């Protein structure tokens, strides 16, 4: 079971990371879990030259090249995103744009997410769903939201957040077992 966890908040130890860690805590010990902290990586959004259309790959030489390898390696991809200005974080949006050339390459990978925020979270959810459906991934999880108040506090005000995040993890494991049986 190859799991790629994409930490999409600029804050590596914030609410979103706690939600993602809770989801990951439900994976069995045999699972190979790779954690990607986007805040540590140096990559741009899509430059829209459309060179990838002729090349069949993205020619921008930055840390996204390693992320491509990780995305291709993974059987389960789980995003953690804060809602920032009513959408996924800019870090996640950049990653999404850069997968434009990968048509079909993520097909049938199991995808899930956890998000944090309080307002306008619907568009954050919508962007994550659109990404996974556009790539023909298998959308799983349970739509876990950690309800946070930026200035007043974090997940401690939402007693259900970490429980829901763990449920998302369990659901992704369940989907994996349905599809792959007990292969690890
Ligand atoms: C630039 C910026 C924009 C934000 N926009 C929203 C927003 O539109 N809706 C919302 O509910 N929270 C918004 N927030 C609050 C974060 O989503 C919230 O604090 C989140 O839990 C932060 O996650 P973190 O602790 O992992 O960084 C924003 C925060 C930042 C820094």
| pLDDT at 143 (0 to 100) | 86
CATH 1.20.120.1200 for domain 2-180: no
Tokens encoding 99:
């997968």
Residue 184 has a pLDDT of 60
Q: H helices within the chain, ranges in order?
A: 15-24, 51-55, 64-73, 90-98, 121-134, 161-180
Neighbours of 35 (CB within 10 A): 15
Q: Is the CB of 83 under 6 A from ligand 1?
A: yes
Low-confidence ranges of the chain (pLDDT < 50): none
Q: Provide the phi-psi class of 94: left if phi over 0, else alpha when psi is between -120 and 50, else beta.
A: alpha
pLDDT at 151: 67
Give the domain ranges of the chain.
Answer: 2-180
Residue 90 zone, left/alpha/beta (φ > 0; ψ -120 to 50; rest):
alpha
- From the CA of 17, how far away is ligand 1's center (Å)? 13
At 105, phi and psi to the nearest 5?
A: -70, -25
**How many angstroms is it from 82 CA to the middle of ligand 1?**
5
Q: Is 169 near ligand 1, meaning CB less than 6 Å away?
A: no
Residue with the smallest CA separation from ligand 1 atom 16 is: 117
Residue 89 Cβ contacting ligand 1 at under 6 Å: no
Tokens of 35: 């954690």
């Amino acid at each position: 079971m190859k799991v790629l966890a994409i930490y999409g908040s600029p804050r590596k130890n914030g609410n979103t990371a706690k939600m993602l860690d809770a989801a990951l805590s439900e994976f069995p010990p045999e699972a190979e879990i790779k954690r990607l902290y986007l805040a540590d990586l140096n990559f741009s959004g899509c430059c829209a030259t459309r060179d990838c259309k002729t090349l069949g790959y993205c020619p921008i030489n930055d840390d996204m090249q390693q992320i491509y390898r990780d995305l291709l390696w993974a059987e389960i991809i789980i995003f953690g995103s804060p809602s920032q200005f009513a959408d996924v974080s800019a870090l996640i949006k950049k990653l999404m744009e850069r997968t434009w050339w990968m048509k079909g390459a993520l097909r049938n990978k199991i995808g899930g997410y956890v998000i944090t925020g309080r307002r306008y979270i619907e568009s954050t959810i919508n962007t994550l769903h659109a990404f996974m459906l556009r790539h023909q991934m298998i959308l799983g999880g349970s739509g876990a939201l950690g309800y946070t108040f930026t200035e007043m506090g974090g997940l401690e005000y939402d007693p259900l957040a970490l429980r829901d995040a763990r449920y998302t993890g369990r659901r992704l494991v369940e989907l994996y077992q349905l599809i792959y049986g007990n292969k690890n």
